[in-house]
Structure 1
């Protein structure tokens, strides 16, 4: 049987989501998905070498793609930055058809040997959000924005998983509070940077921060930054 890798990935993922709520992102769910699609396990492993881990990451990436598509279909220009971020996070959570799939993923990526994969997936989601809303930062702020949003996103997901309020109203209120907290911190930082008393002490750290650049948009280059070359 021959089939394009991308097509097989999508079919395996579609089949797996029927089993994950019961078996988790596990070998059992992976094997069941392969049987449902009608491929042997070796072929399934050819497109998902790490089996259920890669399958779970593919599911997360699918949610990211749905969020991006929805963001691009909407006119967000009238919104403030904080409103754009809240909208993007809401779209990301609404892309999940069954919270149990995320709950099982949280369990999987809480394991020490899979934690780096989970952290990378969250980082990539936050990077997509900032990129889609037009972030143009070109220094250390590129990292701090994404790191801060990763904290907000992670906390909101955990709250959302336990939220039984109608239409997840409590989750959206929780999200607004977390973004308010972040905006208060940013306001304080701006005041400190503009303080004539602190300005001489911040000159060195500010110069160093300006030398840190975002990573080049190259395959496989996710988190590390690069130092700005001297002129």
Structure 2
């Protein structure tokens, strides 16, 4: 789930957003946010040691938190699970008021030295969605679910940034197609796992992955990973 964000940092991010379209998530935006929010520069630096980069990270995390709130308020009764996931992705996009702010962030996190940070943020979004939808998996499936949804969400954002269809209908259709792809993959995986000729191979795979457990630390603020030797 998205971790709570310092209220002063929220104020700083909100002050930065109007400048991002012109100056990106860089030094000038960071300085302007400090001035507009009337926050002590030294204190702002303790909140954002990397300046604009940390503002961009907080902006993304605030979006995840807003999505979780919107999802909690949404009427999901009667929906298939795949439709709940698709709705969560749509709500995550809907909390963004200005695509250009996301575009600037996407460009920044595509830089080689920040790519791991961008991947971590996308993973965090996938984790927030699965957790909000009640995922209780505690084994390797915890990772595969989030890895698959991370790939879906990353491709959706790129499509959405270039979508100029009325009401974003093209993006909605794209989300449905990508979720259908994931469901098809899950059905294929299940069929392979239950295929008698492949039982020896899948059984070996099960034994190899038996020691992989979901992280227990909450909130998670790093790419997860834990190996436990099976007993």
Distance 2:102 2:221 in 1: 26
Q: Match for residue 10 of structure 1?
A: 10
The alpha carbon displacement at 1:227 in A equals: 2.9
- After superposition, the CA RMSD in angstroms is 1.5
The alpha carbon displacement at 1:8 in A equals: 2.1
Task: Give a deviation string over 1:150-183, Cα, whole Å, max 9, x none.
Answer: 0100000000000000110000101111111111
Q: Which moved more, 1:215-224 or 1:149-158?
A: 215-224
Matching of residue 193 in structure 1 with residue 193 in structure 2: yes
Contact 1:215–1:222 at 8 Å: present in 2 too? Answer: no
Distance 2:127 2:10 in 1: 24
Distance 2:132 2:166 in 1: 29
When normalised by structure 2's length, the TM-score is 0.93
Size of the aligned set, in residue pairs, is: 227
Report the 3-state secondary structure (helix = DSSP H, G, I; strand = E; otherwise coil) of the residue aligned with 1:112: coil
Report the 3-state secondary structure (helix = DSSP H, G, I; strand = E; otherwise coil) of the residue aligned with 2:79: coil
Q: Which has the higher contact order (CA 8 A, sep 6+)?
A: 2
Q: Match for residue 101 of structure 1?
A: 101
Q: Which runs of 5+ in 1 are unaligned?
A: none
Q: Match for residue 92 of structure 1?
A: 92
The alpha carbon displacement at 1:77 in A equals: 3.6
Matching of residue 223 in structure 1 with residue 196 in structure 2: no
Q: Which runs of 5+ in 2 are unaligned?
A: none
Report the 3-state secondary structure (helix = DSSP H, G, I; strand = E; otherwise coil) of the residue aligned with 2:69: helix
Distance 2:65 2:220 in 1: 18
Q: Match for residue 213 of structure 1?
A: 213
